[in-house]
Amino acid sequence: MGFWAWNICMAAISMVAMVAKGEVSDVVVMYDHPANLSCMGKSFDPDATQMSRYRLMWLIPNGDLVGKTSTHDRVTVFDEGKQITVKKVDDVDFGIYSCIIYNFNTQEYEIVQTSINMNGPYWGHLMAKYRTNFIVGAVAAAVMFVIMMGFCFWIGRNSSLEADEDERVKASSLWMSNQGIDNAAVELDDVQVDTKTVPVNGEEHPPVYSEIGKDLATKL
């Protein structure tokens, strides 16, 4: 750092503390957007013919001093130092920017201060920007929820109907089986079988089955 830059830095350190107590205009910028800052204030707005009487330096938030001939990865200085552009605003660019003005005629310093996002990050009017997308997303989510609920209800109803049908088939099969047993018993009760004949002349004859009894004995 040269002698001139060292003097500017010392002057800035001593003066910024005093000026910082005053009002500082704040520029609100979204992330990755450029920001243009001006060194022109109430007491400093010289035209091009008067700029030879002044030397301007910028003290940026990270502590670097940037002049009109300086190159910097975060900012660009133009218009003889009266304007500075922050290329893409990020967290490291938040803070106070001090334009240090040295008057060769009076050998006095003056500081014009401005700032970027002093109150923190700025996201823009997100509700207005994404309101339509939010409404569409909410409606789509509601429709999908209704469809899923209907699908679950349909699956549950079909499962219940299938279970009821299985129970009905089992009950019907059991009922048919019981009816078959009862019918067989009824048929056996209805069959009349002659087990023996009346003795003739005191002699007993072997039992003689009727024709119906013979057929039933054969089936059994």
Pull the structure tokens for residue 66.
């940037």
Which of 70, 97, 116 lies at the terminal end of a domain, its last residue? 116
Whether residue 220 lies inside any domain: the answer is no
- Residue 37 sits in the same domain as residue 135: no
* Residue 142: per-residue pLDDT: 83
- What pairing do the DSSP bridges indicate for beta strands 108-116 and 25-27? parallel
| Mean predicted lDDT score pLDDT of the chain | 74
- Residue 137 sits in the same domain as residue 65: no
Pull the structure tokens for residue 156.
């549950």
Provide the phi-psi class of 138: left if phi over 0, else alpha when psi is between -120 and 50, else beta. Answer: alpha
The 3-state DSSP class for residue 103 equals strand
* Residue 21: per-residue pLDDT: 46
Whether residue 216 lies inside any domain: the answer is no
Residues of the domain holding 45: 3-116
Q: Is the pTM of this model over 0.85?
A: no
| pLDDT reading at 178 higher than 50 | yes
pLDDT in tens, 74-94: 999 988 889 999 999 999 999
pLDDT in tens, 6-30: 555 555 555 554 444 456 788 999 9
Place of tokens 């700025």: 122
- Residue 13 sits in the same domain as residue 103: yes
Pull the structure tokens for residue 169.
């088939």
* Residue 5: per-residue pLDDT: 54
- Residue 138 sits in the same domain as residue 44: no
Pull the structure tokens for residue 47.
């035209």
DSSP symbol at 121 = -
How many domains is the chain built from? 2
- Residue 105 sits in the same domain as residue 184: no
Measured torsion, CA atoms of residues 82, 67, 52, 14, in degrees rounded to the nearest 10 = 90
- Residue 43 sits in the same domain as residue 140: no
pLDDT in tens, 50-73: 888 899 999 999 999 998 888 899
pLDDT in tens, 92-128: 999 999 999 998 988 888 898 999 998 888 877 655 5
- Residue 175 sits in the same domain as residue 70: no
Which of 92, 116, 140 lies at the terminal end of a domain, its last residue? 116
- Residue 143 sits in the same domain as residue 199: yes
Whether residue 218 lies inside any domain: the answer is no
Cβ atoms within 10 Å, residue 212:
13
| pLDDT reading at 155 higher than 50 | yes
Which of 88, 116, 144 lies at the terminal end of a domain, its last residue? 116
In Å, the largest CA–CA distance within the chain is 173
- Residue 99 sits in the same domain as residue 193: no
* Residue 20: per-residue pLDDT: 47
